[in-house]
Amino acid sequence: MDPTLGMLKRSDGSAEFGMKESSVIVSIYGPGEFTSNQEQPIEVCLYGCSSPAAISRFLLQIIDQVILHNQVPRSTIRISVQTIQEGGSLLSTCINGATLALMDAAIPLRYLAAAVTVALVKEEIVIFPTKAQEEEASAVMTLVFNNIRMELLACECNGLWQPAEFHRCLDTAKTAVSDLFNIYREKMNKKLSLS
């Protein structure tokens, strides 16, 4: 995992993010002028994946929580996510790529969001599982946290979780998401030092 920021020159912000066997390129267009015929101030388009509608809806909910709308009033922001490789943990890969692209575009944010996918494979917790591990798992969960208090913003679950397993996964995910926030910080510091 070595994200790249700002590689697309025609967008206002962009990021390439990959985790194990999944990778995405996210581009941000905006904030732009809001016209009356547009229904939503935030638009998410997902290309090249097997379940774009479900991922787009979840991603839109996260981004809507993160953006400081009062700092960009009557504006529209378009987010385009191109799946380069879909090999498991795609939802968390999209969320992390979108957060980095929003940072690159200098969109005012309430806080940063980072996501971790965990799977329960034969009683073992696997972080950022591959597609094969997700298929073998008895349960898969994507957890999204903010960077302020490490609060859980959202959770998407498939399968049944016992309370003890859920809390083990939550603790494991918090450790992994802390590493992601450090990567975000390093990438932005590097970008700003080159400017």
Read off the pLDDT of residues 113-132 as tens digits, 9 standing for 90 and up.
Answer: 999 999 999 889 999 999 99
- Confidence band (pLDDT; 50, 70, 90) for 16? very high
| Backbone phi, psi, residue 99, to 5° | -60, -45
Cα–Cα distance measured from residue 23 to residue 36, given in angstroms and rounded to the nearest whole number: 35
- Per DSSP bridges, beta strands 75-85 and 42-47 are parallel
Question: What pLDDT score does 39 carry?
Answer: 60
| Tens of pLDDT, residues 24-83 | 999 999 887 777 665 677 888 888 877 788 898 999 999 999 999 888 877 888 899 999
Q: Would the pLDDT of 85 be above 90?
A: yes
What is the arithmetic mean of pLDDT over 7-12? Answer: 92
Question: What pLDDT score does 48 carry?
Answer: 83
Question: What pLDDT score does 101 carry?
Answer: 96
Do the beta carbons of residue 6 and residue 13 sit within 8 Å? yes
pTM for the whole structure: 0.93
Cα–Cα distance measured from residue 142 to residue 125, given in angstroms and rounded to the nearest whole number: 13
- Confidence band (pLDDT; 50, 70, 90) for 193? confident
Q: Would the pLDDT of 22 be above 60?
A: yes
| Tens of pLDDT, residues 130-161 | 999 999 999 999 999 999 999 999 999 999 88
Question: What pLDDT score does 106 carry?
Answer: 93
